[in-house]
Amino acid sequence: MVIRIDKHSNIPLYAQLKDALVAGIRAGRLGADGRIPSEIEICDMTLLSRPTVRQAVAELVAEGVLVKVKGKGTYLAERPESIELKGFNGFQFSVLASDSQETREFRSIDRIEGESDELDRIFGQMPLSTDKAYARMTWVIQEKDAPYAHCVSYVPLWMFPNLIDDLRLGRRMLDITANKYAFLPTRTHLRLEVRSASPEESESLDIARGQAVIVATSDLSSRSGNLCEHVVAVLRSDRCAIVQDAGRN
């Protein structure tokens, strides 16, 4: 197989090689038996230097595309079993819309106040005489002991002033939300985007830094018209499949 590299391009040689290797893998021209050519073999195919080839291969290993087996060579990484998120919507990762928190292990439950300009912008004007802080909850969702979603939820404390203590004490959501019907989410605005994972997200999801992730941002509004929760769920793009079924009358 010949891998063509444009040595006059402004694109770095190692980056061109990475793209070419990925394209060859997807097309079945490389790694059909699970193994890709050695670095020396790739040098012969491309007429590139060993350091350039090594950098391209090393980055694909870091990104989880390839895996090196000592003494044997470089192989395609096994793709994790896909998790289907069916009926995906903006309530999927909400704290307030959840019936139960018993199965959710929070990594942190914090009070956020001061330097919260971005949250103030998201939530808008709050009552002047009430607590202007927010509750911030973070948790990771796992399946078969492997993480696939890193979630962060923000709730204004003027709506749920005891939320932090209630969650830390493990109180039931039924009790936490009792008599709070005006502030419970009934509508949601969901936004999906693909971007690179932050260092915190990469560590939490056990992926390479900068790996592509799916970000689901939900703004949940109550029947009183107030924005009651802002949720950011970061999903592993190599493990999650968003599934929607729809009919047409």
pLDDT of residue 124: 82
Q: Domain check: are 131 and 163 in the same one?
A: yes
Residue 39 shares a structural domain with residue 154: no
- Do 47 and 93 lie in one domain? The reply is no
Residue 8 lies in a domain: no
The span from the CA of 36 to the CA of 32, in Å, is 8
Q: Is the pLDDT of residue 209 over 90?
A: no
Question: Do 165 and 222 reside in the same domain of the chain?
Answer: yes
Assigned domain for 99 exists: yes
Domain assignment of residue 4, yes or no = no
What pLDDT, on a 0 to 100 scale, did the predictor assign at position 212? 85
- The model's pLDDT over 121-162, given as tens digits with 9 standing for 90+, comes to 898 877 766 778 999 999 999 887 788 999 999 999 999 999
Percent of the chain beyond pLDDT 70?
96
The answer to whether position 3 is within a domain reads: no
**How many whole angstroms separate alpha carbon 88 and alpha carbon 190?**
10
| Domain match, 30 and 110 both | no
Determine if the pTM surpasses 0.85.
no
Per-residue pLDDT, 129: 61
Confidence (pLDDT) at 30: 81
- 92 by Cβ neighbours in 10 Å (0-12 / 13-18 / 19+) ranks as buried
Is 61 within a domain?
A: yes
Please check the confidence at residue 112 and state whether its pLDDT lies above 80. yes
Same domain? For 126 and 168 the reply is yes
pLDDT by residue (tens digit) across 57-80?
Answer: 988 887 778 888 888 888 887 766
Distances (CA, A) of 179 to 160, 173, 182: 11, 12, 8
Tell which of 76, 108, 127 closes a domain: 76
Which pLDDT band holds residue 111 (cuts at 50, 70, 90)?
A: very high
The CATH number that applies at residue 210 is: 3.40.1410.10
Q: In this structure, are 128 and 192 located in the same domain? A: yes
Q: Check pLDDT > 90 for residue 51.
A: yes
* Residues 8-27: tens digit of each pLDDT: 889 999 999 998 898 888 77
Going by pLDDT thresholds of 50, 70 and 90, the confidence category of residue 83 is confident
Helix (H, G, I), strand (E, B) or coil at 30: coil
Assign residue 64 the CATH number of its domain.
1.10.10.10
Of 76, 96, 127, which residue constitutes the final position of a domain? Answer: 76
Number of domains the chain is built from: 2
Q: Distance between CA atoms of 65 and 154, rounded to whole angstroms?
A: 34
Q: Domain residues for 115?
A: 83-243
Determine the Cα–Cα distance for residues 220 and 230; give it in Å rounded to an integer.
Answer: 6
Residue 69 included in any domain: yes
Pair 24, 129 in one domain: no
